[in-house]
């Protein structure tokens, strides 16, 4: 059983998936930092010095000065500012993935549209066998090739 498990883990697609998960987690942290530290502060300034992470609605109707105060009091809240930040995260990740897939698709199309390689064989009409272009005799019927 241990041998089968080792064979399963060492297959290429499992290792590729593990690398993808690790890279995805790291990429997610970078995108979250980009949104929290670079994108949202100017957006908050543009919308009147708003800190999106502190936008919430208390479901009890009791006013609280901040989200931290509401959470400390145990009040149920709708944290729509945090949701907005998560939505911006998602849009950036989706855009990056779209651009990557688009680039790979274009690369594959350009590779596929390259001219096909020149033929290296031809059909000999006398015995209908396939022979090399460099051949001077047919290997099947030993007839001499002309030209």
pLDDT, position 75? 92
Under DSSP, is residue 71 helix (H, G, I), strand (E, B) or coil? helix
pLDDT, position 114? 67
- Residue 121 backbone phi and psi in degrees, to 5: -130, 165
Q: Do 105 and 122 share a domain, yes or no?
A: no
Q: Do 78 and 130 share a domain, yes or no?
A: no
pLDDT, position 136? 81
Q: Do 75 and 6 share a domain, yes or no?
A: yes
Q: Do 41 and 63 share a domain, yes or no?
A: yes
Q: Do 104 and 127 share a domain, yes or no?
A: no
Q: Do 109 and 120 share a domain, yes or no?
A: no
pLDDT, position 72? 92
pLDDT, position 10? 74
Q: Do 39 and 12 share a domain, yes or no?
A: yes
Q: What is the pLDDT along the chain (147 residues), one digit of tens a residue?
A: 888 888 877 776 777 888 888 988 888 888 888 888 888 888 888 888 888 888 899 999 899 988 889 999 999 999 998 898 889 888 888 888 898 889 988 988 877 766 777 888 888 777 888 888 888 888 878 878 776
Q: Do 109 and 51 share a domain, yes or no?
A: yes
Q: Do 55 and 70 share a domain, yes or no?
A: yes
Domain extent, residue 134, equals 116-147
Environment class of residue 89 by beta-carbon count within 10 Å: exposed (0-12), middle (13-18) or buried (19+)? middle
Q: Do 76 and 35 share a domain, yes or no?
A: yes
Give the separation between CA 126 and CA 141, rounded to whole angstroms.
Answer: 9
pLDDT, position 40? 85
């Amino acid at each position: 059983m241990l041998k089968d498990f080792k064979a399963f883990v060492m297959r290429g697609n499992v290792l590729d998936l593990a690398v993808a998960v690790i890279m995805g987690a790291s990429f997610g942290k970078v995108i979250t930092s980009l949104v929290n530290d670079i994108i949202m502060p100017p957006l908050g300034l543009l919308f009147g010095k708003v800190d999106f992470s502190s936008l919430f609605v208390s479901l009890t109707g009791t006013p609280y000065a901040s989200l931290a105060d509401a959470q400390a009091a145990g009040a149920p809240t709708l944290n729509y500012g945090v949701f907005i930040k998560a939505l911006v995260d998602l849009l950036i990740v989706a855009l990056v993935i779209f651009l990557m897939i688009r680039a790979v698709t274009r690369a594959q199309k350009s590779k596929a549209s390259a001219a096909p390689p020149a033929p290296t064989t031809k059909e000999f009409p006398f015995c209908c066998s396939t022979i090399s272009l460099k051949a001077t005799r047919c290997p099947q019927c030993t007839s001499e090739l002309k030209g």
